[in-house]
Amino acid sequence: MAIEIRLGDITKIPVEAMVNAANSALRGGGGVDGAIHRAGGPSIMRELRAYDGCPTGSAVVTGAGLLPAKYVFHAVGPVYAGGRNGEAELLARAYRSCLRLGEERGVISISFPSISTGAYGYPLEEAARIAVDAVKTTCIPLALFVIFDQRTLQAYLTALE
């Protein structure tokens, strides 16, 4: 199993499964969620309508539409509220839910954004450590963190060391 961290646009990197940082209503949003829906096209949202939301710490699967992937795993991370409401476990569970979906489907590559560190306000260094630790447990041959900015990239590289 290899873990890679790279700066780039998650919607452009070919993998079998691409993780989306979704909201619990599964109705699209900004950031990574908006980018994945714009790049993947309307078929993703059509498939999401079959779900009645998704609890924090969980993930659901759709096809990838026009994205260079077979699946999109829509993971719901926690909104950070000071760290005393189980946020660390919920964040780890969101990553593990995606890994389980990937393992069940036999994927050989999966890409992740930095879940919950944007609008949801999770402290970057802690979130990076949780993400890397969760991903180390998988049997998927390639887990790739696709990071959008230099500060986040550095936090993930440090967490991997």
Taking alpha carbons only, the member of 19, 22, 13 closest to residue 131 is: 19
| Catalytic, out of 33, 52, 133, 149 | 33
Pairwise CA distance, residues 26 & 36, whole Å: 12
Query: 156, 130 in Cβ contact below 8 A?
Result: no
Can you list the alpha helix ranges (DSSP code H) found in 18-148? 31-40, 42-48, 87-105, 124-135
Classify burial at 115, counting beta carbons within 10 Å of its beta carbon; exposed 0-12, middle 13-18, buried 19 or more. Answer: buried
Which position has the token pair 């569970």?
93
| Known catalytic residue at 33 | yes
Sign of CA dihedral 62, 64, 70, 76: negative
Pairwise CA distance, residues 11 & 67, whole Å: 6
Active site positions, annotated: 33
